[in-house]
Amino acid sequence: MNRIVVVSNRVQAPQEGTVQAGGLAVALDGVMAKRGGLWFGWSGQIADSASRTVHTTQVGSIRYATIDLTREEHDRYYNDFSNGTLWPLLHSMPDSMAFDRRAAQVYRDVNQRMTEALLPLLRPTDLIWVHDYHLTAMPAMLRARGVTAPIGFFLHIPFPAPDLLCSVPQASALIRDLLGADLIGLQTPNDVENFVAAAQRLTGATRLPGSSEVQFAGRRIRVSAFPVEIDAAEFAAAAEAAWRSPATERLRRSLTGQALILGIDRLDPTKGLPQRLTGYRRLLETRSDYRRRVTFLQIAAESRKEVSAYRELREALNFEAGAINSEWGEPDWTPLRIVARGGARNTVAGYMREARVGLVTPLRDGMNLVAKEYVAAQDPQDPGVLVLSRFAGASHQLPAALLVNPHDPDDIADALDRALSMSLAERQGRWLECWRTLENATPAAWGRAFLSALTRADIAAPLAETRERLFIPRPAPEQGMRLI
């Protein structure tokens, strides 16, 4: 049985007898525990200088192996290029993207250093699964070093249309790097079509008739959708228990009979939070009968505080929240509550079950598991209504939600009005349709499906390491440019 090798940006080994938090850990823990596995990536530690030292620890049948990064590597590879260039680019937000050739080169250098550190740990019969936008160069780098084991790559965030992808210099080389994999997994069929179109247009890859497979450099690469899942039954049980908890009871008492609209997100420009507040403002402006009858609670946990765009977003939200509350609030009614920190998972599950409306309106999202969690948290006899951005990957699986354009405040206001006034029968019908999509899916089943497909993938021939095939930004002395 093949050993599984997982490669991700960040790795944190759990203590013996504990389970890691996080979707990827939940998805792969059971699979790797049975078959044995290696999990490799960055330790989360900053070192004074680059080192070849690999830190390893064994927990059960899983071996965790990590390397440290230098401060410059972290700043340029992680902050500047991964999160400053690739994150907004892949979310179809090129106006928020900054490109600097020096950061692009460090990104590639870190991918190369990780590849070199991983190579001695590999076995010929391994199944190698590389995760996410931090490590797009690794599939081709592994092939260039002679690795013939099956390589899978999964992108957890969206993939843009080819025209948008071209906003980053040398985009075609980035695609070539990914085509070093045997299997490329994306969240939705739309992402698959975007990637295949980009591969055809930017690299000359050929799409095989009647499939999403492409042929490139004499190899066949399968490109497929593998939507990430939650354990809906487990989350439903947690929500039902948490609904009776003191924390949810305190929230319920504070509402004094008002209907709760709930949003839960990381504080991130892709989540559409300013647009969401504008939509809520439009509801209060145009439907005066909702004043004093609803309360909107937005939980927006801060993240990436070192990135200026995130700090600016926090300031903008604070300003708009203050404006809404000062304009529409009453001495005994605050229409909008914002909490800029996360909460315990079970506590949030209880809030979801209490909420009459789950408002999930990202500008673009690979999947958005909050939408699925909101559905799972509901009381089947008296469910709330999910208002969901049509640009979230989850909308492909949850068409019974009220789908909105997050850029249109009137569309959001109309959906909120419909959700708040919806009959019990319609709420039950829409919830049941969503639930049937989720009830038998689990993160572990998602992981098994990808690994099963990878096992069947054709074993690739090594690629030559050339500057034309690999994403190798050429260093330049000039200052990096900002692309709009």
* Same-domain check for residues 260 and 332: yes
Read off the pLDDT band of 166 (50, 70, 90): very high
Residue 382 annotated in active site: no
For residue 484, being part of any structural domain is answered with no
* Same-domain check for residues 272 and 394: yes
For residue 76, being part of any structural domain is answered with yes
Residues 6+ away with beta carbon under 8 Å from 436? none
The domain spanning residue 305 has which CATH number?
3.40.50.2000
* Same-domain check for residues 211 and 241: no
- DSSP annotation of 280 reads H
Query: CA-based angle 69:45:105, to the nearest 5?
Result: 20
Residue range 459-473: average pLDDT?
42
pLDDT of residue 466 exceeding 60: no
* Same-domain check for residues 222 and 278: no
Residue range 222-239: average pLDDT?
96
For residue 461, being part of any structural domain is answered with no
* Same-domain check for residues 198 and 241: no
* Same-domain check for residues 137 and 250: no
* Same-domain check for residues 282 and 212: no
- DSSP annotation of 462 reads P
Residues 6+ away with beta carbon under 8 Å from 41? 7, 8, 9, 10, 11, 66, 114
* Same-domain check for residues 449 and 362: no
Whole-angstrom distance, CA of residue 117 vs CA of residue 111:
10
Per the CB < 8 A criterion, the answer to whether 235 and 349 are in contact is: yes
For residue 253, being part of any structural domain is answered with yes
* pTM > 0.75: yes or no: yes
Q: What pLDDT shows up at residue 307?
A: 67
Distances (CA, A) of 457 to 31, 69, 127, 150, 152: 19, 33, 10, 7, 9
Q: What pairing do the DSSP bridges indicate for beta strands 219-225 and 183-186?
A: parallel
pLDDT in tens, 192-209: 999 999 999 999 999 999
The residue with tokens 């689990």 is 442
Whole-angstrom distance, CA of residue 154 vs CA of residue 302:
26
Residues 6+ away with beta carbon under 8 Å from 130? 7, 8, 138, 139, 151, 152, 153, 154, 181
The number of domains in the chain is 2
Residue numbers of the domain that contains 409: 232-438
* Active-site pick, 156, 182, 231, 411: 156
pLDDT in tens, 4-62: 999 999 997 776 444 444 557 767 776 787 778 999 999 999 999 988 899 999 998 89
For residue 26, being part of any structural domain is answered with yes
Burial class (CB in 10 A: 0-12, 13-18, 19+), 358: buried
Where is pLDDT greater, at 381 or 473? 381
* Same-domain check for residues 416 and 270: yes
Read off the pLDDT band of 452 (50, 70, 90): very high
* Same-domain check for residues 24 and 118: yes
pLDDT in tens, 337-360: 999 888 888 999 999 999 999 999
Q: What pLDDT shows up at residue 311?
A: 82
pLDDT of residue 471 exceeding 70: no
Q: What pLDDT shows up at residue 461?
A: 40
- pLDDT mean across residues, the chain: 90
pLDDT of residue 483 exceeding 60: no
Hey, is 184 helix, strand or coil? strand
* Same-domain check for residues 261 and 178: no
* Same-domain check for residues 165 and 297: no
Residue 484: other Cβ atoms inside 10 A? 9
Question: Which of 34-48, 94-108, 221-235, 292-306 has the weakest average pLDDT?
Answer: 292-306
Residue 427: other Cβ atoms inside 10 A? 17
For residue 304, being part of any structural domain is answered with yes
Residue 156 annotated in active site: yes
Where is pLDDT greater, at 364 or 471? 364
pLDDT of residue 364 exceeding 80: yes
Residue range 253-260: average pLDDT?
95
* Active-site pick, 68, 231, 365, 411: 365
Per the CB < 8 A criterion, the answer to whether 404 and 387 are in contact is: yes
Read off the pLDDT band of 418 (50, 70, 90): very high
For residue 469, being part of any structural domain is answered with no
Residue 313: other Cβ atoms inside 10 A? 20
For residue 131, being part of any structural domain is answered with yes
Question: Which of 228-237, 380-389, 459-468 has the weakest average pLDDT?
Answer: 459-468
